[in-house]
Chains A and B, each alone.
Chain A
Amino acid sequence: MTAAQQYYELYRGSSIGEALIDTIDDLINDGRIEPQLAMKILANFDRSIADTLAEKVKSRLTFKVGQTLSCVSREILRSIQGHLETYRFCDDVWTFLVKNVKFKSDGGQEFHADKVKIVSCNSKKPGEP
């Protein structure tokens, strides 16, 4: 019933996406599927992972960074006050390169990362308000 939607391919670069692509490669290599089918499988993956992450994943993670930017939405800044090294906005995609980040998970557990890249894509399709 759902209307046709375009989905980003960015999750293909995640561990689960890479594992799927490796498996698809093996299937093509063994002559068990054609590359055209692989494209369809990956298109399904793009849709399913985006929908599943949006609908099913309920755990939350907060982090603190620093350095205020006037052009970034305040909502993002709510949790940002540390070492935001670089940010850019290109083709409707925000990218933040953040250093020395402290994450706090749902259970209050904290962990640290030296470097984090946050890629934030528009969940609305091009042309949508």
Chain B
Amino acid sequence: MDNGTAIAAPQSVAEVEQLIQRLYKPGPASLVKNINDQLLQLQLSHDGWKLADELMASEDANVRFFAALTFTVKLNNDGPTLDDDTAHSVHTRLISWLVRLVQRGEGGLVCKKLCSTLTTYFLRSPLMWKHPLLDLALSFHHGDATVEGNTPRSADEISDILPNLNELQLRVLLWFAGALAEEVSRVPANTPAHANLHTQMENIVKDASVLMQWAFQQQSTGSASAVRAEALRTYLTWINYAQPVWPRNPEALQYLRDLINQASQCLFDRDLSSEALDIFRDILESYTTFFQAPHMEMLAAIIHNHIRPKLQHTLSEQDPDGLPLAQLVIAFGCANIQQVVEQPDSESGSWTIVELLFDILQAQGYPGDEDQLSIQTIEFWNTYIEYVNDTLFTDSDAPDPSWLYQAKDVLKQVVELLWKKVWTPPNEVAKAWGDSESEGFKEFRGDSTDLMLSIYVLLGKDMLQQLVTLALRSLEAEQWRGVEAALFCLNTLSDNVLEESSSEDVVEEIFRSSLFRDVADFSQNIPSQARRTAIDMLGSYGQYIERHAEFLPDTVRFLFASLEMAGLANAAAKSIASLCSACRVSLTTELPGFLSQYQRFLESKTCDPYTKEKVIGAIAAIIQALSPESAKAEPLRALLVNIEKDVESARQYAAEGDLEMAEVMGVTSLESLASIGKGLQVPEDVPIDIYDDNEEQAKKPSYWESAEGREAQQQIVGCFSVLQVVGTYSAAIDAACQVLRTGLTESEPGPFVLPTSVTVNFVQRCSINTPQLETVLSTAGMMITQHSRKDSKRIDEDVRSISKAVAGFCEALRQPDTDPTVAAECINVLSELMPHYVHVLFEEMSASTLAFILSAVQGPDSMPKRTACEFWTKLIKPQTAAISEDAQQRINQVMSSYGQQLVYSLLHQIRGQAQRSELDYVCEPLKALLLHQSGTQTWLQSALADERFAIPRVTMNDRAMFLRQIMGSRSDGRKTKELVKAFWAACRGTVVSYG
């Protein structure tokens, strides 16, 4: 549809010009497309060369640009097939146009395009162009095209010509030199077809280096400065070209290295310094070896004498222009990290770098706000500590290196500077911050503490002592932001500190100080952030508090008090959860008090679903530590009463028509119940008494199987009744599944290890319209897996009921693509029945269910396809546990009935329907068939001969070959996969791999 924008074919050059001019004017997309199509036809036509030449004479720069583009299009399409005369003629015309246009003062747009066209000529012409830069320079000098072809010339010639060229001519030459390096860098260097081009570049670099050298010598003022700027850009392009192509060609590289000194002079040039800084940083970061030792010394001297005073000035002025200066210093430091670490006394090479990086961290301002430099220094310090740690720990038997003392000293200073930099801003500053500043500051804090973790590996206890001292000194001075920063750092180190018991005496200094008494005194004017970080510390150092029970009661009381303070509640709830979980055994005597505190908390303003869930889980963890099991029942039931109240509120809200609140209360009740379940799980690190071999004890039924225990369980199950009100909400179903899962993962009976019938009933109450049905199914699958373990109780009846329900879901779905996620989970549950419930599988498995699983293999959706392939693989392979003869017979029957269809479905995937990423899964059942089913060859033969299989790209011979090869690969799974991938690629007409 052209929407009235159809374009008639132009009949003259003038009409073509008009069309080009319309192309560059704003207009509807369809018009632009139609014009473009017309013009493209002209460009590709036989007369394209002539048209390009005629358009070049236009007065309009856009038309001249289009003319150059037409030359490029023609060269790209016809270049390699041109005869020598035409190629020579095109070459001469292009240079001639460029020379004439430059003489007329043509602008950058057209000149750059013509340089790019000349580069296309260089790449695509059948004639070799040996001296492109020299030829163009000569042509500029003579005022018209001078192309000497392949006659040898001296490289010095270009240096004789350059002084005669004007600034524009020099710039165009530089553009051309840059375009050559850029375009040739895209040509693969390792193929014979292109090797010649790269060999030519080894000669061209001689002229290019003379050109750049001359350009760098131009005056740094006025319009000549533009020539120097262009030289700098061309220089980087050539270095980029050289990096991958000349790693073992020092002669060619030397032409570029010889220019380092002159290029570095641009660092002093007021107009060019910013660009030069970026370019030198870029090379230092990504091509360090380009610089050799003398170059590094020269750069060190420049940093010491020139950059250092400028950077220090910008730091004192908080001038953002310091950024590129700092980045160069950092890049230089990273590139020379060995010297910086191992020769700390080298003034310009090492100490200046370290000193400047200290200066940056000492400068005023908050990271993320006005201080943009500190965040940059983290990269350097990471490199520094990584080097030190690598060197020290690679050979732990070697004596300490002589530089270690100074390195430690440097790192201690870094720790203190970082501590100072992560101080939170005063309120008046923070209030003025937007998201970007807050995020930037947060990021800096995170990066700083990550760095501290690495430094801790080296400094260990000394660093811990340093931070504790900073915290206590700030505490004494009532500098709460300093206290907060130190605690923040200490929290990050907690996992590592707690691993070493020798560090406990240092941590004790904090816990014995007035810190927690002060923060617990809410009459004191302390920033809430400091209180929050102190609360976090109690969570982070839970294991320490567990070992020092004397701190525990006060700590938890402080946390419960904080729970009722706005702004502290979330942090307090989180720490309560973590502390109660870690110190559950020591807190059992406090349980009655906590239960009443929890009741009070439920009435407070800070009580919300998050805090409620965390705290109730924390109390449940303490209940878990009670012994014997019967002692848990009463406090547990006390907690459950609160859940029941929420369930009741949900019901009431629903009855009143307030569905939103009904959902909130209902979901909260189930999530809190799941939290209790999680808290009651037996911790993984509970010691097992391997000498306790009391079989009598083992045989004794658990308390939770007694009538009393069952009563508590009934109370839990009763809470599920809230699903009658909120069962249509995803979050509620998710939370209910979470409750069931907390018990499923337990190995011993417990309050949440509910009878399997609870899960079965839950599944049976679902329909395909139930939200999160996939979660319900995966919970059922989890239960079957648990009861498939070696010593677990078999639950045939329950599994039978679940299978029936799953078969019902499959039937209701009709096709897997109705809901691929649910379909995948249904197949997965059925898969879980093998091998221990394989008899149940075949009792409940109807032909339609098998057809459903088969259609999943053939369908478009990845998830059901994957699980269906797993199902068939499990079925075909010998079962991994003993099964009845009857069950084995049923498997054989299924395979003889469905084998052919399965093979057809698999081949349908392999002939191109499957995505590349699915081939690994599709191969698995095929591998199993080849190994374990004798009829596979016949099935494959028949499927490959099927008319529906025909595709033009693959002949009958190809198919026969595939059959022979695949049958031959039956004992080599890897080979089967390779053959399948190759056949799939052949069917699709694509490559086997993109690597």
Could you say which of B236, B390, B916, B995 contacts A18, with CB atoms under 8 Å apart?
B916
A-contact 0/1 string along B470-493, CB 8 Å cutoff: 000000000000000000000000
A-B contact pairs, 11 of them (CB 8 A): A1-B236, A2-B282, A18-B917, A25-B915, A28-B990, A29-B988, A35-B991, A60-B450, A73-B393, A74-B389, A108-B574
A74: which B residues are within 8 A, CB to CB? 389, 392-393, 457
B185: which A residues are within 8 A, CB to CB? 4
A25-B915, A129-B289 known; 19 new pairs, CB 8 Å cut-off, are A1-B278, A1-B279, A3-B243, A4-B240, A4-B243, A21-B916, A22-B916, A22-B917, A25-B988, A38-B991, A62-B495, A73-B389, A75-B454, A78-B454, A78-B457, A81-B499, A108-B578, A127-B247, A128-B288
B443: which A residues are within 8 A, CB to CB? 58
* Closest A residue by C-beta to B248: A127
- B457 near A4 (CB under 8 angstroms)? no
- A19 near B917 (CB under 8 angstroms)? yes
Indicate if B286 sits at the interface (CB-CB under 8 A): yes
Indicate if B446 sits at the interface (CB-CB under 8 A): yes
* Closest B residue by C-beta to A102: B684
A residues 1-41 with Cβ under 8 Å of B? Answer: 1-6, 9, 12, 18-19, 21-22, 24-25, 28-29, 35, 38-39
The 9 closest A-B pairs by CB, nearest first: A74-B393, A18-B917, A3-B286, A22-B915, A4-B240, A3-B240, A28-B990, A3-B287, A75-B389
Shortest Cβ distance from A66 into chain B, in angstroms?
12
Indicate if A70 sits at the interface (CB-CB under 8 A): yes
Contact A3-B989, Cβ < 8 Å, known A60-B446, A62-B495, A70-B396: no
CA distance A68 to B989 in the complex (A): 50
Interface size on B, residues (CB 8 A): 47
B contact residues vs A (CB 8 Å cutoff): 185, 236, 239-241, 243-244, 247, 278-279, 282-283, 285-289, 338, 386, 389-390, 392-394, 396, 443, 446, 450, 453-454, 457, 495-496, 499, 539, 574, 578, 912, 915-917, 988-991, 994-995
Contact A39-B393, Cβ < 8 Å, known A1-B278, A3-B239, A22-B915: no
B396: which A residues are within 8 A, CB to CB? 70
CA distance A92 to B285 in the complex (A): 20
- B394 near A39 (CB under 8 angstroms)? no
Could you say which of B338, B390, B392, B990 contacts A29, with CB atoms under 8 Å apart?
B990
Could you say which of B239, B278, B390, B995 contacts A9, with CB atoms under 8 Å apart?
B995
A39: which B residues are within 8 A, CB to CB? 994
CA distance A129 to B989 in the complex (A): 43
A128: which B residues are within 8 A, CB to CB? 288-289
A contact residues vs B (CB 8 Å cutoff): 1-6, 9, 12, 18-19, 21-22, 24-25, 28-29, 35, 38-39, 42, 58, 60, 62, 70-71, 73-75, 78, 81, 108, 127-129
B917: which A residues are within 8 A, CB to CB? 18-19, 21-22
CA distance A128 to B396 in the complex (A): 25
CA distance A39 to B993 in the complex (A): 10
A70: which B residues are within 8 A, CB to CB? 396
CA distance A81 to B365 in the complex (A): 40
Max count, chain A CB within 10 A of own CB: residue among B278, B393, B443, B453? B393
Shortest Cβ distance from A11 into chain B, in angstroms?
13
- A58 near B446 (CB under 8 angstroms)? yes
- B244 near A4 (CB under 8 angstroms)? yes
* Closest B residue by C-beta to A19: B917
Shortest Cβ distance from A112 into chain B, in angstroms?
9
- B240 near A75 (CB under 8 angstroms)? no
A42: which B residues are within 8 A, CB to CB? 994
- A29 near B989 (CB under 8 angstroms)? yes
CA distance A60 to B236 in the complex (A): 36
CA distance A57 to B929 in the complex (A): 44
Shortest Cβ distance from B621 into chain A, in angstroms?
14
Shortest Cβ distance from A54 into chain B, in angstroms?
11
* Closest B residue by C-beta to A31: B989
* Closest A residue by C-beta to B233: A1
B453: which A residues are within 8 A, CB to CB? 78
Shortest Cβ distance from B910 into chain A, in angstroms?
14
* Closest B residue by C-beta to A104: B495
- B994 near A38 (CB under 8 angstroms)? yes
B389: which A residues are within 8 A, CB to CB? 73-75
CA distance A128 to B290 in the complex (A): 10
CA distance A30 to B816 in the complex (A): 26
CA distance A24 to B495 in the complex (A): 45
CA distance A31 to B641 in the complex (A): 66
A12: which B residues are within 8 A, CB to CB? 994-995
